[in-house]
A = this chain, B = another copy of it.
Amino acid sequence: MQFEQIIGILAGLFTTLAVLPQIIKALKTKSVDDVSPIMFITLCIGLGLWTVYGFLKEDLPIIITNGISFILNSFMLILSITSRSKSKNF
């Protein structure tokens, strides 16, 4: 495996797993009022586009990491909306 592919997969692992601590924290505390859902909407659009970019470039690290990231961040987006206290704005 080439050096750059290792860097790409490592980079993808870190950015893909990055949202997990936030998901775990939200599930534990049930408190997400300080978290911005607009951040996760924007992030999901971007990750979707990165996945398309990966297919166009036939670049596996980009496809896999951004595809998984899209799923995880969509889950956090749903959490950040459904667990919000009714009174709190976005």
From B7, B22, B57, contact of A39 by CB (8 A)? B22
Copies in the complex: 2
Q: Which of A29, A32, A38, A50 has the most CB of B within 10 A?
A: A50
Confirm or deny: A63 has a beta carbon within 8 angstroms of a beta carbon on chain B.
no
Residue total for A at the interface (Cβ-Cβ under 8 A): 42
A residues with a Cβ closer than 8 A to B are 3-4, 7-8, 10-22, 24-26, 29, 31-36, 38-40, 42-43, 45-47, 49-50, 52-53, 56-57, 61
> Can you list the 8 inter-chain pairs with the closest CB atoms, starting with the nearest?
A14-B46, A15-B46, A11-B49, A34-B34, A21-B38, A18-B43, A4-B56, A18-B42
